[in-house]
Chain A
Amino acid sequence: MSYLLRGVAPLGGERTDLLLDDGRIAATGRQARVAGATVVDADGLVALPGLVDLHTHLREPGREDAETVASGTLAAAVGGYTAVHAMANTSPVADTAGVVEQVWRLGRDAGWADVFPIGAVSVGLAGQQLAELGAMAHSAARVRVFSDDGQCVHDPVLMRRALEYVKAFDGVIAQHAQEPRLTRGAQMHEGVVSAEIGLTGWPAVAEEAIVARDVLLAQHVGSRLHVLHVSTAGSVDLIRWAKSRGISVTAEATPHHLMLTDELARSYDPLFKVNPPLRTAEDVEALRAGLADGTIDVVGTDHAPHSREDKDCEWAAGAFGMLGLETALGVVSTLMVDTGRMSWADVARVMSVAPARIGRVDDGPFPQGRPLVVGEPANVVLVDPAARWTVDPSALSSLSKNTPYGGRELTGRVVATFLRGHPTVLDSRPATPVGGGAAR
Chain B
Amino acid sequence: MRHLLSAADLDRTGAIELLDIAARMAATQEREIKKLPTLRGRTVVNLFFEDSTRTRISFETAAKRLSADVINFSAKGSSVSKGESLKDTALTLQAMGADAVVVRHQASGAPHRLAHSGWLSSAIINAGDGTHQHPTQALLDAFTMRRHLAGSTDNPDGVGRDLAGLQVAIVGDVLHSRVARSNVQLLHTLGARVTLVAPPTLVPVGVESWTCDTSYHLDDVIAGQRPDAIMMLRVQRERMGGDGGGTAGATGFFPSPLEYTREFGLDARRLAMLPEHAIIMHPGPMNRGLEISADAADSPRAVIVEQVANGVAVRMAVLYLLLAGEREAWA
User: Interface of A with B (CB < 8 Å)?
Assistant: 181, 184-185, 187, 190-201, 203, 267-269, 309, 312-317
5 extra interface residue pairs, beta carbon distance < 8 Å, beyond A191-B205, A315-B108: A194-B204, A198-B108, A312-B117, A315-B113, A317-B107
Docked Cα-Cα span, A131 to B249, in Å, equals 27
Q: Does B131 contact A (CB under 8 A)?
A: yes
Known: A312-B85, A313-B85. A194 touches B107 (CB 8 A): no
22 contacts across the A-B interface (CB closer than 8 A): A184-B243, A190-B206, A196-B206, A197-B109, A198-B108, A198-B133, A198-B178, A199-B108, A199-B109, A200-B131, A201-B204, A203-B205, A268-B112, A268-B113, A313-B113, A314-B78, A314-B86, A314-B113, A316-B80, A316-B109, A317-B79, A317-B85
Docked Cα-Cα span, A392 to B204, in Å, equals 38
Chain B residues, CB < 8 A from A196:
181, 206, 209-210
Most buried by A among B80, B106, B107, B207: B107
Chain A residues, CB < 8 A from B249:
181
Q: Are B87 and A313 in contact (CB under 8 A)?
A: yes
- In-complex Cβ contact of A198 among B86, B116, B130, B209 (8 A): B130
- In-complex Cβ contact of A315 among B107, B205, B243 (8 A): B107
Q: Are A185 and B244 in contact (CB under 8 A)?
A: yes
Docked Cα-Cα span, A314 to B124, in Å, equals 15
Q: Are A315 and B85 in contact (CB under 8 A)?
A: no
Q: Are A313 and B206 in contact (CB under 8 A)?
A: no
Residues of B177-226 contacting chain A, CB below 8 A: 178, 181, 204-210
Chain A residues, CB < 8 A from B245:
184-185
Q: Which residue of B lies closest to A201 (CB)?
A: B205
Task: Determine how close the nearest CB of chain A comes to the CB of B9; give it in whole angstroms.
Answer: 14
Residues of B251-308 contacting chain A, CB below 8 A: none
Q: Are A313 and B210 in contact (CB under 8 A)?
A: no
- In-complex Cβ contact of A313 among B79, B132, B181 (8 A): B79
Chain B residues, CB < 8 A from A192:
206, 208-209
Q: Does B99 contact A (CB under 8 A)?
A: no
Task: Determine how close the nearest CB of chain B comes to the CB of A120; give it in whole angstroms.
Answer: 23
Q: Which residue of A lies closest to B243 (CB)?
A: A184
Q: Are B116 and A267 in contact (CB under 8 A)?
A: yes
Known: A196-B181, A198-B133, A309-B85. A317 touches B206 (CB 8 A): no
Docked Cα-Cα span, A190 to B131, in Å, equals 14
Docked Cα-Cα span, A314 to B112, in Å, equals 9
Q: Are B243 and A190 in contact (CB under 8 A)?
A: no
Q: Does B110 contact A (CB under 8 A)?
A: yes
User: Interface of B with A (CB < 8 Å)?
Assistant: 78-80, 85-87, 105-110, 112-113, 116-117, 129-133, 178, 181, 204-210, 243-245, 249
Chain B residues, CB < 8 A from A190:
205-206
Q: Which residue of A lies closest to B177 (CB)?
A: A198
Task: Determine how close the nearest CB of chain B comes to the CB of A321; give it in whole angstroms.
Answer: 17
Q: Which residue of A lies closest to B106 (CB)?
A: A316
Chain B residues, CB < 8 A from A187:
108
Task: Determine how close the nearest CB of chain A comes to the CB of B34; give it in whole angstroms.
Answer: 35
Task: Determine how close the nearest CB of chain B comes to the CB of A92; give it in whole angstroms.
Answer: 22
Known: A196-B210, A197-B132. A317 touches B86 (CB 8 A): yes
Chain A residues, CB < 8 A from B117:
312
Cβ-closest 4 pairs across A and B: A268-B109, A198-B132, A195-B206, A316-B107
Q: Are B210 and A315 in contact (CB under 8 A)?
A: no
Docked Cα-Cα span, A267 to B132, in Å, equals 13
Known: A268-B109, A314-B113. A198 touches B205 (CB 8 A): no
Chain B residues, CB < 8 A from A268:
108-110, 112-113, 116
Q: Are A198 and B131 in contact (CB under 8 A)?
A: yes
Q: Which residue of A lies closest to B181 (CB)?
A: A198
Docked Cα-Cα span, A190 to B204, in Å, equals 9
Docked Cα-Cα span, A199 to B204, in Å, equals 10
Q: Are A313 and B205 in contact (CB under 8 A)?
A: no
Docked Cα-Cα span, A312 to B80, in Å, equals 12
Chain B residues, CB < 8 A from A313:
79, 85-87, 113
- In-complex Cβ contact of B209 among A195, A269, A317 (8 A): A195
Task: Determine how close the nearest CB of chain B comes to the CB of A311; give it in whole angstroms.
Answer: 11
Chain B residues, CB < 8 A from A200:
131
Most buried by B among A194, A198, A315: A198
Q: Which residue of B lies closest to A184 (CB)?
A: B245
Q: Are A314 and B107 in contact (CB under 8 A)?
A: yes
Docked Cα-Cα span, A194 to B207, in Å, equals 10
Task: Determine how close the nearest CB of chain B comes to the CB of A408; give it in whole angstroms.
Answer: 19
Chain B residues, CB < 8 A from A201:
204-206
Task: Determine how close the nearest CB of chain B comes to the CB of A110; give it in whole angstroms.
Answer: 32
Q: Which residue of B lies closest to A193 (CB)?
A: B206
Docked Cα-Cα span, A299 to B122, in Å, equals 44
Q: Which residue of A lies closest to B85 (CB)?
A: A313
Task: Determine how close the nearest CB of chain B comes to the CB of A281; give it in whole angstroms.
Answer: 14
Q: Are A316 and B243 in contact (CB under 8 A)?
A: no
Task: Determine how close the nearest CB of chain B comes to the CB of A369; give it in whole angstroms.
Answer: 41
Known: A184-B243, A315-B113, A316-B80. A195 touches B86 (CB 8 A): no
Q: Are B110 and A314 in contact (CB under 8 A)?
A: yes
Chain A residues, CB < 8 A from B112:
267-268
Task: Determine how close the nearest CB of chain B comes to the CB of A356; give it in whole angstroms.
Answer: 40
Docked Cα-Cα span, A185 to B210, in Å, equals 23
Chain A residues, CB < 8 A from B78:
314, 317
Q: Are A314 and B206 in contact (CB under 8 A)?
A: no
- In-complex Cβ contact of B206 among A181, A184, A191, A269 (8 A): A191
Docked Cα-Cα span, A315 to B116, in Å, equals 13
Task: Determine how close the nearest CB of chain A comes to the CB of B174; give it in whole angstroms.
Answer: 9
Chain B residues, CB < 8 A from A184:
243-245
Chain B residues, CB < 8 A from A317:
78-80, 85-86, 107
Chain A residues, CB < 8 A from B85:
309, 312-313, 317
Chain A residues, CB < 8 A from B113:
268-269, 313-315
Chain B residues, CB < 8 A from A309:
85
Q: Which residue of B lies closest to A309 (CB)?
A: B85
Most buried by B among A184, A197, A268: A268
